[in-house]
Amino acid sequence: MLTVEDYIHTVKENLQRNSERLIEQVKKTIQFNYYDKVDLLDYTAFIQPYELSIMMYSMDRNANEVFYQGNDDNLFAGSFDLIEDVEYYQIGDEQKDEFWKFYEQNDEVISKLETDVFIEWFKDCWNQAGGNNVNLPAYFSFHDYDNCLDLIHNKLVSDGDKWF
């Protein structure tokens, strides 16, 4: 029988297996020499059933992604794929109906706990990668969610607040 506690524990374990890879990728983004038009870094998680991908976007304060078209190979602007298609939960075909029934019955609780687990995992990896050494404001958000984590100040803010 599925329980919320067992589900969240499994999600945490599966994410933890990918921590070293995420830490190494975050380190790369911290070491980039950013184009001077970049105002902030936006690490965005894309959540699919059982999978998570995270991209980093270099952004300006008008919520536009910044690109560099010049000849200086030392400057970075654009997007960077941190981690792709991380399976945070595995389920066999024969268990899908039971799982989705469980998930729907506990949707609000699971959704909140999942979000907290993803945020804590990213924040922990960010800190281990030396994220506090980045010279730009940095945020962790979920695609199409309103709130995001201000990584520098370690607090949740509205997505709109990061542009000011």
State the first-to-last Cα distance of the chain, in angstroms, to the nearest integer. Answer: 47
pLDDT(32) > 90: yes
Q: What is the pLDDT of residue 3?
A: 93
CA–CA separation, 27 and 127 (whole Å):
10
pTM to 2 decimal places: 0.93
Least confident of 48-52, 64-68, 99-103, 160-164: 160-164
pLDDT(76) > 90: yes
User: pLDDT (tens digit, 9 = 90+) per residue, 111-158?
Assistant: 999 999 999 999 999 999 999 999 999 999 999 888 899 999 999 999
